[in-house]
Amino acid sequence: MPSPDSPFETVLGEPRARRLIKELLAHFGRVRPQRWISLEFPEERIQSRPAVQAIALEETGRATGIQHVPIEGLAPTDAGTERLLAAVAPLEQSPLPGVPGFHVDLGVSLGFGPTSVDIKLLANGLRGWCARQIETAPTGLSTHVITVSGTPVRLQMEKTRCLEGPGRLSVFRTELPAMFATAVSDGLRARLYTLLQASADRHILLFEQQNHLWSPAHLRTELEASFEFPELSLVHEIWIVDAQSFKLGEIPVFRQILPVNVHGALA
């Protein structure tokens, strides 16, 4: 059914990128004074050349081009990361002080190579630490250290206010999976230039986070450090959608990670 925040009906069985883009427009309708009157998918209509995935038109006449970018080709999860994510999964679902109203990303450093830290003890330590620290932590990035059986473990926390939704804690490993930088570059190489060639007033990249092997901070750092794609400065907004929330049938969790337009702030 069409959302009251977006006039575009999502249809069972339609392409995933199309559904995510419609959900993003509905999200904009809920958190911004934007009203959409038309949506087309040039990529599905134009076969002779690469074309942008979607162009949405506002009632003001402003057109926005949107390109969906999955992160693909990452190496299989290593055993240490699998154990960490499994051990902290109950913590992510627990009600914790300070989480409501915020996205809280917690990066845990296990170092490179086999870890000497007992993952179950680490998860228990994180539970107590989160209960004490998240509520009083400032917004933005902060670094911390906890000790697990005499071993220091470095943490990096990013706390940002939600635009919608109840807030959530997400735990990641600080060390990135192999091939992450290559996967980001491949995604941009395949889709960035097509987006920027679209006849639109604004251009948006929508990255899809398919698992918790990398965090929004990881992607932001990779994009800010990229010398291969100076054209990123022409993109008005870069967003992430958490595919796990999309799978659960909930309202997908969207987060803006970079307003990178060189001409100024969001319009």
Same domain, 154 and 227: no
Same domain, 103 and 52: no
Same domain, 64 and 183: yes
Last residue of a domain, one of 110, 141, 173: 173
pLDDT value at position 120? 94
Q: Which domain holds residue 159?
A: 79-173
Element (H, E) at 119: helix 119-133
Cα gap 155→135, rounded to integer Å:
16
Same domain, 198 and 68: yes
pTM: 0.89
| Long-range CB contact pairs, 147-152, < 8 A, 24+ | 148/117, 148/118, 148/121, 148/122, 149/117, 149/118, 149/121, 151/116, 151/117
Cα gap 201→236, rounded to integer Å:
10
Q: Residue 114: which pLDDT band, with cuts at 50, 70 and 90?
A: low
10 within domain boundaries: no
For residue 95, is pLDDT > 60? yes
Residues 6+ apart with CB under 8 A from 97: 131, 134, 135
Give pLDDT tens digits for 217-245.
999 999 998 889 999 999 999 999 988 77
State phi, psi for 257 to the nearest 5 degrees: -110, -25
Enter the tokens of residue 210: 């398919």
pLDDT value at position 255? 93
Same domain, 161 and 216: no
Give pLDDT tens digits for 9-37.
777 788 889 999 999 999 999 999 889 99
Same domain, 161 and 85: yes
DSSP character for 9?
P
246 within domain boundaries: yes
Cα gap 206→208, rounded to integer Å:
7
Question: Closest Cα to residue 124, out of 158, 159, 84, 154?
Answer: 84
* Cα-trace Rg, the chain: 20
Give pLDDT tens digits for 134-174.
999 999 999 999 999 999 999 999 999 998 888 999 999 99
Q: Residue 260: which pLDDT band, with cuts at 50, 70 and 90?
A: very low
Cα distances (angstroms) measured from residue 42 to each of 32, 54, 195, 240: 25, 6, 11, 22
No. of helices (H) and no. of strands (E), the chain? 7, 10
Residues 151-187: b if buried by 16+ CB within 10 A, e if exposed: eebebbbbbbebeebebbbbbbbbbbbeebeebbbeb
For residue 1, is pLDDT > 70? no
Question: Closest Cα to residue 66, out of 8, 107, 124?
Answer: 8
Q: Residue 87: which pLDDT band, with cuts at 50, 70 and 90?
A: very high
